[in-house]
Amino acid sequence: MNQLEHAFFNHKKDNNMTKIKKAFWLILGFLSLGMAYVGVILPGIPFSIFLVFAAYCFAKSSKKMHDWIYNHKYFGPFLTNWTQKSVFPTKGKYAMILVMSSSLAFLYFSTGNIKATLWSGSFMALVAIWAWRYPGSVNEWETRQDAGKKIGWLK
């Protein structure tokens, strides 16, 4: 098969695969967005990672949904600050620590399993360290930027 035949006959196949990929990313985006909404309401389920993943999925599938999520009243500022400046809000960090602490206390008092509590606490501590290394506000980001400091300690 020469190049002309390949381009002619495989065009429809490539177009169908593009539609399937877009549908896959769109469905994944809606599922992730749903989990982000659940994470806002229920303690213990992180909303931020699901929200960032939903924005990624919508960027690959639907400009309309991508624009909607970035212009959302509550989610938009968080996503914009995260993608442009790697800002993780200080209120979110404190809320994360509060939820993690209460989850650990609930785990310990409901199960009495010290190993599970220690393992869970260790992983929660790693997540907290990851989150606290990022600036908590745009002002803090600007201060670090002006001083020539690393934004997330690793970059």
C-alpha to C-alpha distance for 79 and 32, rounded to whole angstroms: 14
C-alpha to C-alpha distance for 12 and 147, rounded to whole angstroms: 54
- Give the residue among 92, 17, 22, 18 at the shortest CA–CA distance from 52: 92
> Has this prediction a pTM greater than 0.85?
no
- Give the residue among 64, 66, 53, 60 at the shortest CA–CA distance from 21: 60
Task: List, in order, residues 6 or more apart from 66 with CB less than 8 Å away.
Answer: 55, 58, 59
Mean pLDDT of 102-124: 93
Distances (CA, A) of 36 to 24, 67, 93, 96: 18, 17, 16, 14
Q: How confident is the model over 2-56, as pLDDT tens digits?
A: 554 544 455 555 566 688 899 999 999 999 999 999 988 887 778 888 999 999 9
